[in-house]
Amino acid sequence: MPKNVVLLYDKLMLSHDTGQLHPERPDRLYAIQDALRCAEVPGVRWQAPKPATRKQIERIHTCDHVDQIEAFRGRAGRLDADTPLSEDSVAAAYLAAGAAIDAVDVVHKNPSESAFALVRPPGHHAERDQAMGFCLFNNIAVAAAHAVDTLGYKRVLVIDWDVHHGNGTHYSFYDRREVMVFNTHRYPFYPGTGQAKETGISNGAGYTVNVPLPPGMGDGDYKHAFETVLEPIADAYEPDLVLVSAGFDSHRLDPLGGMEVTSEGFGGLCTMVQRIADKHADGRLALILEGGYSLEGLSQSVLKCVEVLAGTPYEIDDEPSENGYAAIVRARRQLRMYWNV
């Protein structure tokens, strides 16, 4: 069914200047804009987001962490070897988190619309008290906390298909069940977390789901992980809101990821996620941009996902590889104490 798609974007996020040789650079958003505007997908509208407030950020991050980030407002510097800052980086980070919140608000107010927050800096590596891996604030975690604490959602499903494990999101909700975090990612790989045995603690036991994959995995492997792990768990969890940490660095063209997913494959994964949202969450689905460092792979994959959100499905026909099948079986064994997978 065709839907309207709201794209959250502001040119200020281009002013987060990491340097021309840094993989997470403004060219990423330029490439996405060019692809979307050339394609002219029906039902798409652009919307300027509002910056997140400090109170909204502190639902996830410690006061000391926010103070550390604020200390760089208006000046350049470096938080770690991977995470440089320019004069506008702090303002861009507040705007990126705000765009994720606004994406949730869009689908909350009108389930006939989907949303995609086209943001930088990305967020899923940022932990409660630490910026890392190009990320300052954890945009999707801040948005999920907003959904629970402000809008009253009881079961938020966060799906992270970035090639890197979303450690920050994982730890943000590791002891909570109001937000389930599903990660499928290359392992072992940066940041070194995300083993299948990491399933949550206390009230959150079983509500963190990790499906680590070996390098070289493609469309059929990811489809199999979604079919045999994500879909049955989502059916049991019955989320009332679905959010995606949409990283595209498992694309076959990506210089960092070492995976073999195609642009059409990402369209297929987005189609599967859209069906979960339609089945359980009245269609409420929002995507928040994470990684992806091939400009062609990134822009074309985003385009395919926007087409899905607007009503054009993609299907994956590939079968899983032998290595991928085995890795997914191992993850399912870890999860069977909690879920029928």
φ and ψ of 170, to 5 deg: -50, -50
* Section 141-152 average pLDDT: 99
Q: Dump pLDDT digits (tens) for 185-212.
A: 999 999 999 999 999 999 999 999 999 9
When pLDDT is cut at 50, 70 and 90, the band that residue 3 belongs to is: confident
Q: Name the active-site residue from 125, 164, 170, 224.
A: 125
Report the alpha-carbon angle 286-164-15, nearest 5. Answer: 65
Q: How far apart are CA 56 and CA 48, in angstroms?
A: 18
pLDDT greater than 90 at residue 223: yes
pLDDT greater than 80 at residue 2: no
Task: Point out which residues pair with 84 in neighbouring strands.
Answer: 78
pLDDT greater than 80 at residue 1: no
The rounded radius of gyration (Å) of the Cα atoms in the chain is 18
Task: Point out which residues pair with 181 in neighbouring strands.
Answer: 158, 208
- The yes/no answer on whether domain 4-335 falls in CATH 3.40.190.10 is no
DSSP code string of 308-323: HHTT------PPPPHH
Tokens of 255: 């210089």
pLDDT greater than 90 at residue 98: yes
* Section 75-95 average pLDDT: 97
* Section 140-165 average pLDDT: 99
Average pLDDT, whole number, for the chain? 98
The SS3 call for residue 11 is helix
> 10 Å Cβ neighbour count for 129?
12
User: Domain coordinates of the chain in residue numbers?
Assistant: 4-335
Q: How far apart are CA 289 and CA 32, in angstroms?
A: 11
Confidence at residue 214, expressed as pLDDT on a 0 to 100 scale:
99
Smallest CA-to-CA distance from 3 within 102, 112, 103, 116 is with: 112
- C-alpha distances in Å from residue 337, one per residue of 20, 48, 175: 48, 44, 17
Task: Decide if 160 contacts 211 (C-beta within 8 A).
Answer: no
61 noted as active-site residue: no
Q: How far apart are CA 333 and CA 173, in angstroms?
A: 22
φ and ψ of 315, to 5 deg: -120, 145
Half-sphere exposure of 65 (CA within 13 A, CB side): 19
pLDDT greater than 90 at residue 181: yes
- How many residues make up the chain in this entry? 341
pLDDT greater than 90 at residue 147: yes
Q: What amino acid is encoded at 101 in this protein? A: I
pLDDT over 90, % of the chain: 99
Q: How far apart are CA 193 and CA 302, in angstroms?
A: 26
**What is the pTM (predicted TM-score) of this model?**
0.98
Tokens of 257: 């990821």
